[in-house]
Amino acid sequence: MAIKVEFMGIIATIKKLLGLKQTMINIILFGPPGSGKGTQAEKLVEKFGLVHISTGDLFRYEMGNDTPLGIKAKEYIKKGELVPDSVTIGMLKNKVTSHPEAKGFIYDGFPRTIPQAEALDQMLADNAQSIDGLFALTVDDDEIKKRILSRGETSGRADDLDEDIIQNRIEVYNTSTLEVYEYYNKQNKAVSIEGSGSIDEIANRLQSAVKTTL
């Protein structure tokens, strides 16, 4: 699988050098919890006409509608087990195929591990596509805590008000999820975006970076 994915990455690079474009744009919006991915995804949708795929929303839809994949996910969750990546990839495929008119997609909340990144790359490679870029919003830990605690005042989520849980989420991101950044950085596809400042300032930085992939 790694060889095929690497080959597709080479093909995508050659296409760009020749001035050829993929039929769709595929980007990953990356960053720690509370970095503003959801807000910035909305602005990217407005700016570039992409479809935003949030894995959290995806799971809620599939499980809430008792789709075959949603039922499978529930079975694993009820047993206290992690939902296999194959189920999540199946949900992603369903979402992508339901938008044949899309100019491209923003993947938000996935991948979070290198195996997930490899699975996503394979899914795209099967359709002669590849990830154009991973854009990581960087925000220091203290600012992240302030943002999540502030969000907790209106989100209705108890975990947004628990500093120990917030710290744990930050640590999981720093120790595990950041490996995905390095995975795409080795493919020269990872870009860090300063995630501090006003919403519009961050949006301008992010949108300027995304334009370079179009």
**Which residues are known catalytic residues?**
37, 112, 151, 157, 169
Stated as kind and residue range, the H or E segment containing 27 is strand 25-30
> Contact, 183 vs 6, CB < 8 A?
no
Among residues 117, 100, 106, the alpha carbon closest in space to that of 185 is found at 117
CA separation for the pair 18, 51 (Å, rounded) = 26
Q: Copy the structure tokens of residue 27.
A: 């980007």
What phi, psi does 83 have (nearest 5°)?
-70, 125
Distance between start and end Cα atoms, the chain: 27
Show the 3-state SS of 113-126: CHHHHHHHHHHHHC
Q: What is the DSSP string of 198-212?
A: -HHHHHHHHHHHHHT
Q: Copy the structure tokens of residue 110.
A: 């996935």
> Contact, 192 vs 32, CB < 8 A?
no
CB-based contacts of 31, cutoff 8 Å, min separation 6: 37, 136, 137, 138, 139, 195
